[in-house]
Amino acid sequence: MMGVRLNEEAKGVFIISVTPFRDDGALDLDGVGQLVDFYIERGIHGITILGMMGEANKLTAAEAEAFALRVLGETRDRVPVIVGVSTPSLAAMRELTSKVMDHGAAGVMVAPTPGLRTDDQVFGYMETVAETLGSEVPLVYQDYPQSTGVALSVPTWKRMVDALPSLVMLKHEDCPALAKLTRIRQGEMAGEFRRVSILIGNGALYYPEELIRGADGAMTGFAYPEMLVEVLALMSAGKVDAALDLFDAYLPLVRYEQQPGWGLPARKEVLRRRGAIASSRARYPAPSLGTEGLAELDRLVSRVHRRLEQVAPDHARAIA
């Protein structure tokens, strides 16, 4: 089976999928179809699995593979699927990559391994990754220093883009990062280096600014993928104020879901309420929201709905 390969032209919303567990903590493979359909029905343009928000590092190797193959099977090429394969073991990275590419993945995402320090080390690592995975495997660089501790400079990015043809996408979630995004787009426009797709992360907290600065879409996991999709559509149509009205209506919840650690159970709870997954269970370590947290979600969601009725009544009806 061979799906479409990811390339530099990629645009849109690649939703970061949660990994569904049953209430007993077991992987909920049977729930994967429902989750994939939920996302696709919300208009997303791609799915990214086994990211950090996807609790990839809490799975066994066998579970990760089983989940990935199930997602690929359920997606049936309706949208491209990117698989997070970051791990300190290049052998394990190659193994998982080979398996998912054989089953139709569009590409893989790699975050630089913690401990890299100088520009040369970052470049050297990604060069080794690209060689290890093979030139035919489209590669997404996840720039997430808040988690990895590894910073990406624009000169290193240029060097990687020049040397590694399989590198087709930047997942941009450095923070602060607005200036870097602008510098990369300027460098591309000046012909200094190849243009690649840039999708933004950070829970979409800076989504409007990043789109205006030239991002091609989002790769993040907000529980209302409709917002991510429609903000992009409105921005692309030049309707900036409408896009901002929609974004701002959701912002209190965006901000809440973006809290480190706390955001994952919050997001899973909203997805459960929306019917995307059967259980909001997250694997250890994950905080319990408690009655206060659940009340906060109630209030946030209720206010988002109320606000949407004012600024985007069609949208409000669609998500009701």
Tell me which residues touch a copy of itself (CB under 8 A): 57-63, 88-92, 95, 117-121, 124-125, 128, 145, 151-156, 175-176, 178-179, 182, 205-206, 209, 212-213, 244, 248, 251-252, 255-256, 259-263, 283-285, 287, 290, 292-293, 296, 299, 303, 307
Instruction: Classify residue 238 as left (phi > 0), alpha (psi -120 to 50) or beta.
Output: left
- Least gap, CB of 201 to a copy of itself (angstroms): 14
Establish how many alpha carbons lie within 13 A of residue 206's alpha carbon, considering only the half-sphere containing its beta carbon.
Answer: 19
- Least gap, CB of 45 to a copy of itself (angstroms): 25
Place of tokens 């996991």: 221
Q: Which is nearer to a copy of itself, 45 or 180 (CB)?
A: 180
Q: Which is nearer to a copy of itself, 222 or 256 (CB)?
A: 256
Task: Note every long-range contact of 36-40, with CB atoms under 8 Å and residues 24 or more positions apart, other chains counting.
Answer: 36/71, 36/74, 36/75, 37/74, 38/271, 38/274, 38/275, 38/276, 39/15, 39/225, 39/276, 40/75, 40/78, 40/79
Burial bucket for residue 88 (CB in 10 Å: 0-12, 13-18, 19+): exposed
Q: Which is nearer to a copy of itself, 92 or 319 (CB)?
A: 92
- Least gap, CB of 148 to a copy of itself (angstroms): 11
Q: Which is nearer to a copy of itself, 41 or 131 (CB)?
A: 131
Residue 80: cis peptide before it, omega within 30 degrees of 0: no
Q: Which is nearer to a copy of itself, 103 or 180 (CB)?
A: 180
- Least gap, CB of 151 to a copy of itself (angstroms): 3
Q: Which is nearer to a copy of itself, 30 or 131 (CB)?
A: 131
- Least gap, CB of 168 to a copy of itself (angstroms): 23
SS3 171: strand
- Least gap, CB of 78 to a copy of itself (angstroms): 30
Number of helices (H) and strands (E) in the chain: give both, helices first.
13, 8
SS3 284: coil
